[in-house]
Chains A and B, each alone.
Chain A
Amino acid sequence: MPTTYLYIAVILYIVIGSIVALMARREMKEGVVEYFLSGRNTGGFVAALSYSATTYSAFMMIGLAGFTYSGGVGALGFELVYLSGLSLVAFFGPRFWLIGKKNNYVSPYEMLGDRYQNQWIAFAASLSACVFLIPYLAVQLMGVGYLLSGLSGGEIPFIFGVAIAVLLAIAWALVAGMKSVTWTDSLQSLIMIVVSIVILFYVIYQHLGGFSEFFSSLAVLEGNVLTVPGPGFFKFKTFLGLSLPWFFFSISNPQVSQRLFIPRDLKAMKTMIKGFLLFGFIYTMVSVFWGFSARLLIPGLAKADLATPELLASQYVPTALALVAMIGITAAAISTIDSIMLTLSSLVVRDIFKNMDDNLDRDQNLRQLRTAKISILIIAIAGFFFAIQELNLIATLSVAASIGLLVVVPSMFGAFFWKKATAAASLSSIIFGSITALYMQFSGWAPLGYGAGVWTLLVTTAVFILVSLFTQAPTKKAEEFIGYINQECNRKDII
């Protein structure tokens, strides 16, 4: 593909996205809650699109398509198990929202620290999020780098794509905080979904004879790609180890759970959930179909992650469509990157360098915002340096991040549903869980054949329950916190 076209498409995307970000800035009011949560006043439609764009990253059209290419239909199961994890939001979403509004929480870990009456919990969880999310962020940056370099036949250097992605994410996060992030997210999610559907239909009807013939062709491929374990990658234990961490994504990943604080009201949250589920189902299907299409049209690739870039660069996709697809995937990456940077900066401000005399007056607001902006830059630089190391296999790294974030899951359940849960339990489960995740991922140790995902969840849950049984719970706070939620849930028929 001519490099000039790629540059023109990227420039157009930058200009349009930046106009939207600047429009958001005109609407922005003052203060920390406005900057990080868009004033808790986001409508359902924007919240749904932003939630979708943040959750779904370059992993879908590159990593998941690659998984499908090499592993067959198991990739669909893996991603749909993840989507089913959104059912957790039906239980946790309104509770997060209610208590967030009442106690003015900005970050989900700030909420944990207050609920368990121990600031070290917020500190440890935030530190662990930084350790695990910066590589995840870097993986997104790498996605953009590979895509541009692959499509230009190597003419655009990998580092150029990475640099563009990091600069855009910084700009769109800094311009107006959560407002510019959600507005550009909305634009980007629309690009992602429309573009991916168009190119998929084009490829399937133009080159693969329609959906029915598509499945017939898949059925005769070597390796039984429509079954599991099929070609071999998705053995049951691998499938479980990959899917389990992702099932809890909606409460384990702070950039996603923080979004439960932003809807204007319950109606907006309903729309957010419905919109996301619809988006997720379609986008998952499209990514898996895309991976299968690549398997049929360009078999024999040595690296499955290259399935999408190679298919886009092939004669099967016209240049104009390939260009918009490239923008769609870049949008998916950047909308995830800026959200992660913004959320991590809120963790730095509210949980890592928390000022205990927090009274949210004007000076304090200014100081916190300044620290947040510096943190965004530092996080971006860290992500950039991690990305240019070019570590292998984009999908595996992405999953590794979800494993590390699992460590807060028992504490989240305990915060809302178990009055006897204790601070010592929460803190020790986060620490032991993180150590387990890190050790197992680095050593590759897999007792009984199960990987880090399964063991991290088991260890962190066991530690949480056991320590809770032998230590003292913050009874007064637990009564107040859960009591308020129960009272409001009864009033509002929240199940």
Chain B
Amino acid sequence: MKNEELKKLRYFYFILIFLLVVSAFAVPYTLLNSINLFRGAFLFWSFFALAVIFLTIKITTYWRDN
């Protein structure tokens, strides 16, 4: 892959993960702080982690051993 293309992808994934991490701090303390149920902060953080795991694995799928 070309350098420019890789750089774009790097920024893309970096920003996506960064936004997810910011949401992990912001959302449970603001939007979900009154929902004392499984579908509140518990579910949100679980989905957040799964999303970051998915993106991390996705990044590794580009790699080629040669």
Residues of A that sit less than 8 Å from B by CB: 73-74, 76-77, 80-81, 83-84, 86-87, 89-91, 94, 215, 219, 224-229, 236, 239-240, 243, 247, 265-267, 269-270, 273-274, 277-278, 281, 284-285, 486, 489-495
Q: Are B46 and A80 in contact (CB under 8 A)?
A: yes
Q: How far is the CB of A210 from chain B (nearest CB, A)?
A: 13
Q: How far is the CB of A178 from chain B (nearest CB, A)?
A: 22
Kindly report which residue of chain B lies nearest to residue A487, judged by CB atoms.
B3
Q: Are A77 and B63 in contact (CB under 8 A)?
A: no
Which residue from A84, A225, A267, A489 sits with its C-beta under 8 Å from B49?
A: A84
Q: Are A73 and B1 in contact (CB under 8 A)?
A: no
**Bound complex: CA A76 to CA B65 (Å):** 36
CB-CB under 8 A for A270 and B56, given A226-B38, A227-B33: no
**Bound complex: CA A215 to CA B6 (Å):** 44
The number of chain B residues with a CB under 8 A from chain A is 43
Contacts of B36 in A (CB 8 A): 219, 224-227
CB-CB under 8 A for A486 and B60, given A80-B46, A80-B48, A266-B65: no
- Show 9 A/B contacts (Cβ-Cβ < 8 Å), sorted by A: A84-B52, A219-B38, A225-B36, A227-B35, A229-B29, A236-B29, A273-B60, A277-B56, A493-B1
Q: How far is the CB of A77 from chain B (nearest CB, A)?
A: 5
Please list the 8 inter-chain residue pairs (A to B) with the smallest Cβ-Cβ separation, ordered nearest first: A90-B59, A84-B52, A80-B49, A215-B38, A224-B36, A87-B56, A270-B60, A277-B53
Kindly report which residue of chain A lies nearest to residue B16, judged by CB atoms.
A87
Q: Are A227 and B41 in contact (CB under 8 A)?
A: yes
**Bound complex: CA A492 to CA B6 (Å):** 11
Q: Are A491 and B45 in contact (CB under 8 A)?
A: no
Q: Are A90 and B56 in contact (CB under 8 A)?
A: yes
Contacts of B3 in A (CB 8 A): 486, 490
Q: Are A277 and B34 in contact (CB under 8 A)?
A: no
Given contacts A273-B56, A281-B49, A493-B64, 10 further A-B contacts (CB under 8 A): A80-B46, A83-B52, A84-B17, A215-B37, A227-B33, A229-B33, A236-B25, A266-B63, A493-B62, A495-B10
**Bound complex: CA A354 to CA B32 (Å):** 53
Contacts of A219 in B (CB 8 A): 36-38
Q: How far is the CB of A53 from chain B (nearest CB, A)?
A: 19
**Bound complex: CA A74 to CA B40 (Å):** 12
Q: How far is the CB of A145 from chain B (nearest CB, A)?
A: 32
Kindly report which residue of chain B lies nearest to residue A274, judged by CB atoms.
B57
Q: Are B29 and A91 in contact (CB under 8 A)?
A: no
Q: How far is the CB of A275 from chain B (nearest CB, A)?
A: 11
Contacts of A87 in B (CB 8 A): 17, 52, 55-56, 59
Q: Which of B8-66 contact A (CB under 8 A)?
A: 9-10, 13-14, 17, 20-21, 24-25, 28-29, 32-38, 40-42, 45-46, 48-50, 52-53, 55-57, 59-66
Which residue from A76, A243, A495 sits with its C-beta under 8 Å from B42?
A: A76
Q: Are A227 and B9 in contact (CB under 8 A)?
A: no
Q: Are B65 and A490 in contact (CB under 8 A)?
A: no
Q: How far is the CB of A479 from chain B (nearest CB, A)?
A: 15
Q: Are B56 and A226 in contact (CB under 8 A)?
A: no
Contacts of B1 in A (CB 8 A): 490, 493
Kindly report which residue of chain A lies nearest to residue B2, judged by CB atoms.
A490
Q: Are A80 and B35 in contact (CB under 8 A)?
A: no
CB-CB under 8 A for A495 and B9, given A224-B36, A227-B34, A239-B25: yes
CB-CB under 8 A for A83 and B65, given A227-B41, A270-B60: no
